[in-house]
Structure 1
């Protein structure tokens, strides 16, 4: 339990360092795909936390095969899916981009799912993400991919924020989320909420329901947690470096199918940065690699999700012809498209 409480002093998107600005840092130019020279100040406490999680995770892999009950492994996988949906359908598509609207039961469910993920509270997560989209791959981007894979993946969480990130972060209008009672509850009771849903329940349920040992339950949960963190981080790193750019070849974000598979549909990143309001984050809602879209569609069917925003295929096709790199990732007009989709592309 002491480890749990210790972990809660720092979420992956730390906020304490925002006021501790390196006065010697030179102001960078807010131009895309640029990173001004900077001497990073390491946050050693964060480094210790991340080092522990990543050392414990391989031991969790060993326990999954050597000692863990199959119910524990399955439950860990279920917690992983729940936590990913809390990020993708909740913090990202619903609250950061407002791609759709959710009734109160779904908002509460997604807030709890997001708490299993423990990547800071939704308000801070969404602020950083909105900042990332507005100033993508500049000094005001919290995880500027211009600084390389390691920085955009996890280095930005191990060092003090750039002056520009802090400066422009204060200009972001977060009133829509700050006035949301569900998100205010998560923020105001963060220690209790994250302790309960990210650590106590995922560890306690295997122990008290089917007799798993604390050592196994703890490390399998840390494996789940570490994988969830890194898969989410791949959207900031790998999906900004490798892949196709069918819609805008001038930006870093790319279509990366591997990232989409690992993040339940968040790797169609070139499309997402061109059309960030589309609830699918993908041009055809490719449900084979987009579980999050399936989840939102299911919530829409029962009336919990509504006003789903999307982009006509004719508009998508026009943009691809105008500024894309010429790749044809989904094969417009092929057999996998519906008749309506084919008609839209012919019209364009």
Structure 2
């Protein structure tokens, strides 16, 4: 199980000792000579490494297995629904709601988002929101838990495998997380995360297809629990890696985060990352409306707002956006690409096209097994 709380100074009494040990771990180069990919053994979070090796090994085995054996028809939309729910739990719940407080939500919506966030194997809303605030405050520095300047792999998933840099611990002390401590649902999830994860993300998703439409239990386990979880994690982590290295920076040209279309597709709407780091309080995470660009997360929040489950949705005015861009962004790109008003019909058509492409790209993981079965003459799905 992924553990993001080791070496943190939140709610511990021996924080000074932890910081001193971490500092000695980084600075004492004479103490150890053995390194693994450039890191000394005491810098590595071995429990997380073992867990990731285990889950990714299961993923490879599962991918081969579901390519060889038939899958029941309803299992495909089932795992798609679980994947979207888990993604929403992180992107809307842990990220936009709890980390940035970009909108407010009624208890029912907060409970649902906390519950489905448990599907994602992402460590819980508390640890995500805490680390994400540190990421924004000290982006792409040693105080950033996901510092992209340490390389693509580190930003993507390597930060899960290593103990926190001493600067992360030191700078994290400066941030206030009282609102997270005062949120009963987050505290509840934090205390019960391991049994909740087993029930919500593994046992429940595996057994429901078995009992409702007689899916093979091995197929159901691999698809509903293993493949779905690992694929969604990597989709979400493209925000830390791809969207911090590759892409354009029209809103703030002096920071690392970028505008990444592939990340927008894979993360269900989190790819307008240069915009997000410039306007982190925007509930939509993007300047454009959901119908202009593939952004299922924003669509969901807007739907919740229509029925009263979400309210006080924050968004900067066009005047504020243009003013910021004129000072720290790239006004030429902005004027050329973003502010030119296209006819409404064309905007709708371009939006529909982007949603089509986004839906196709987001579902990439199911295509290789389908193609393999077609080529080898195996049944793709059965009823």
After TM superposition, the score normalised by the length of structure 2 is 0.79
Question: Does structure 2 retain, via aligned residues, the 8 Å contact 1:100–1:279?
Answer: yes
Alignment partner of 2:269 out of 265, 268, 279: 265
Specify the alignment match of 1:245 in structure 2.
249
Aligned pairs (5 A) from 1:37-48:
41-48=43-50
Please name the residue that 2:51 is paired with. Answer: 49
Which residue of structure 2 aligns with residue 335 of structure 1?
342
Match for 2:320 among 315, 338, 346?
Answer: 315
| Contact persistence 1:64–1:73 (CA under 8 A) | no
Deviation, structure 1 residue 330: 4.4
CA contact (8 A) 1:86 1:113 kept: yes
Match status 1:106 vs 2:109: yes
State TM-score, norm by structure 1: 0.86
Return the alpha-carbon distance in structure 1 between the equivalents of residues 25 and 187 of structure 2.
Answer: 35
SS of 2:135's equivalent in the other structure is helix
- After superposition, the C-alpha distances for 1:199-225 in whole angstroms (9 at most, x for unaligned) are 111111112211222211111121110
CA distance in 1, matches of 2:22, 2:217: 41
C-alpha distance in 2, partners of 1:225/1:38?
28
Q: Answer yes or no: is the 8 Å Cα contact 2:258–2:272 preserved in 1.
A: yes
Q: What is the aligned-residue RMSD (CA, Å)?
A: 2.1
Mapped contact 1:266–1:281 kept (Cα < 8 A): yes
Aligned partners of 1:70 and 1:52: how far apart in 2?
28
Query: Where does structure 1 lack aligned partners over 5 or more consecutive residues?
Result: 1-9, 28-36, 339-348
Contact kept in structure 2, 1:103 and 1:304, CA below 8 Å: yes
Residues 51 and 291 of structure 1, relative CA distance in 2, 3 Å threshold: same
- Structure 1 pair 145/71, CA: closer, same or farther in 2 (3 Å)? same
**For the residues of structure 2 that align with 1:55 and 1:22, how far apart are their CA atoms?**
33
Q: Which residue of 2 aligns with 1:189?
A: 192
CA deviations on 1:23-57 (whole Å, 9 max, x unpaired) are 23249xxxxxxxxx985722233222112222222
Residue of structure 1 equivalent to 2:167: 164
Asked if 1:69 corresponds to 2:59, the answer is no
- Find the structure with the greater CA-based Rg: 2
Contact kept? 2:146, 2:154, Cα under 8 Å: yes
Deviations 1:207-248 (A, max 9, x none): 221122221111112111001111111101110000110111
Choose from 78, 81, 97 the match for 2:81.
78
TM-superposed deviation, 1:169 = 2.1
Seen in structure 2, the aligned counterparts of structure 1 residues 172 and 72 have a Cα distance that, compared at 3 Å, is same
- The DSSP-based 3-state class of the residue aligned with 1:209 is helix
Preserved CA contact (<8 Å) 1:26 1:38: no
Specify the alignment match of 1:344 in structure 2. none
Distance in 2 between the 1:169 and 1:255 partners? Answer: 27
